[in-house]
Amino acid sequence: DADVTQTPRNRITKTGKRIMLECSQTKGHDRMYWYRQDPGLGLRLIYYSFDVKDINKGEISDGYSVSRQAQAKFSLSLESAIPNQTALYFCATSDTGQGGDTEAFFGQGTRLTVV
């Protein structure tokens, strides 16, 4: 089984609908992240969390919200989806306590299409 699991892997939704993307991890890491990937723009940080009670906005948080239900679970919600939120979304985790040189581990991604 994958260490970082994202569900669903693919989703098509209509404009205005609420949608939730889920992420769970078995690595025991405290830090979790949500990124979106767009062609030519790389990965941009949406939200990040360093523990259950610590949620922080990234560079492109408008239109998104998150919930850290447990150490292992971090969900991303689009309250009212719009077409320019069509993208590939990645969840990632990293370990605490090893300094800035600890790498991030990524899920397989969720491809979201808003029509």
* Short-list 40, 49, 51, 44, CA closest to 90: 44
How are beta strands 73-78 and 42-51 bridged, if at all?
A: unpaired
Structure tokens at 82: 């719009």
Binding site for another protein (CB under 8 A): 4, 31, 33, 35, 40-45, 48, 50, 58, 90, 92, 94, 99-109
Task: Provide, rounded to whole angstroms, the least separation between the CB of residue 29 and another protein.
Answer: 11
Q: Between residues 12 and 14, which has the closer beta carbon with respect to another protein?
A: 12
Amino acid at 18: R
Angle at CA of residue 81, ends 77 and 85, nearest 5°? 90
Q: Between residues 20 and 45, which has the closer beta carbon with respect to another protein?
A: 45
Task: Provide, rounded to whole angstroms, the least separation between the CB of residue 9 and another protein.
Answer: 9
Task: Provide, rounded to whole angstroms, the least separation between the CB of residue 99 and another protein.
Answer: 6
Q: 3-class SS at 108? A: coil
Task: Provide, rounded to whole angstroms, the least separation between the CB of residue 27 and another protein.
Answer: 13
* Short-list 95, 96, 78, 98, CA closest to 21: 78
Q: Between residues 16 and 42, which has the closer beta carbon with respect to another protein?
A: 42
